[in-house]
Amino acid sequence: MKLQKYKVKLIEALRSCKAICALGVCLAVHIPALPVRAADGAAPSLPLLFDSRERLAKPDLSALVRLRFLTTLDFPPFNFADKNGHLTGFQVDLVREICGELDIEAKCQIEAMPYPELPAALDKGEGDAVIAGVGVTSALRQNYLFSRPYMTLPARFVVNAGLGLQGHAVTALAGRAVGIVGGTTHEAMLKTWFPAIRPVAFPDRETMLAALKNGKIDGAFGDGVQLAFWAAGQSADHCCALFDGPYASEHFFGEGLSIMMRPDDDLVQQAIDHALLALSRKGRLKELYLRYFPYGLY
């Protein structure tokens, strides 16, 4: 599934574009990066996606002619074009790291296209791997191979800065009005995990966050990426801050973001899994997290 909720409305030409990059130039759209820092100077705690004792052998890729990754171009901070027109973002840099770890930079390419076109392009052999915010589902596993997850997307609370809560644990929100978007997995998670909190349903995220900023509700609960960027951005205007958490759940949110491949591409799967493990062990995956996501996501 596409993480549609992160999608930023860019110009209409960007939505319909199809740009092929040998890790090269695409369209010019500038998305300013948010600073990454901890208020107390402490290092952030990041999810452990690989067992430190695990060993995944690097397969022989000498016969590989090309490895083309398919992605989108309107999915910041995961994929976008910077002010100089270069395709960039968390997932684009992750592709670069994977190809570098496998010593196949000269064979790697990235092609950006509208999200709905990705499965068909992969099926027709126009690409070899999709890296575009794909969450693994049982239905997709019937038709595709998936890499090990490279990122999990936790839920977070954000509260009005003037609330004056006693303590820093979620118990301080007991009896408080906390907004959620109705009919979402986050609503189900809030009601299941935090029954002492009073949920207030909204039709969409924008309405919910406006109510939080105006003090009509005490807090909000939702996707950690969205809330972290909102709280650090101009729209929030320093009104609110992340609170407690993060909260991860495979039951509610699935296994995490993975790279999708055709069912007969075992070699590509093995190579990507080897690279992801190596990048995690060397700390490069952590560096990418901190480069593109504000402190507080995890």
Q: 130 — phi, psi (to 5°)?
A: -105, 125
SS3 state at 198: strand
Q: 67 — phi, psi (to 5°)?
A: -130, 105
Nearest in space to 29 (alpha carbons), one of 85, 97, 92, 100:
85
pLDDT attached to residue 237: 94
pLDDT attached to residue 128: 97
pLDDT attached to residue 33: 32
Q: Is-contact 242 158, C-beta < 8 A?
A: yes
pLDDT attached to residue 215: 95
Both tokens of 103, joined, read 């010593």
Query: Using the 8-state DSSP alphabet, how is residue 234 labeled?
Result: T
- The type of residue at 288 is L
- The type of residue at 115 is Y
CA distances from 135 to 1, 83, 207, 208 (A): 6, 29, 26, 25
pLDDT attached to residue 129: 97
User: Tens digit of pLDDT per residue, the chain (298 long)?
Assistant: 434 333 333 323 333 333 434 443 332 222 233 333 333 334 445 666 667 677 888 999 999 999 999 999 888 889 988 888 888 999 999 999 999 999 999 999 999 999 999 999 999 999 999 999 887 888 889 999 999 999 888 899 999 998 888 888 999 999 999 999 999 999 999 999 999 999 999 999 999 999 999 999 999 999 998 899 899 889 999 999 999 988 988 889 888 899 999 999 999 999 999 999 999 989 899 899 888 886 666 7
Alpha-carbon span 23 to 56, nearest angstrom: 26
What's the pTM value of the predicted model, to 2 decimals? 0.75
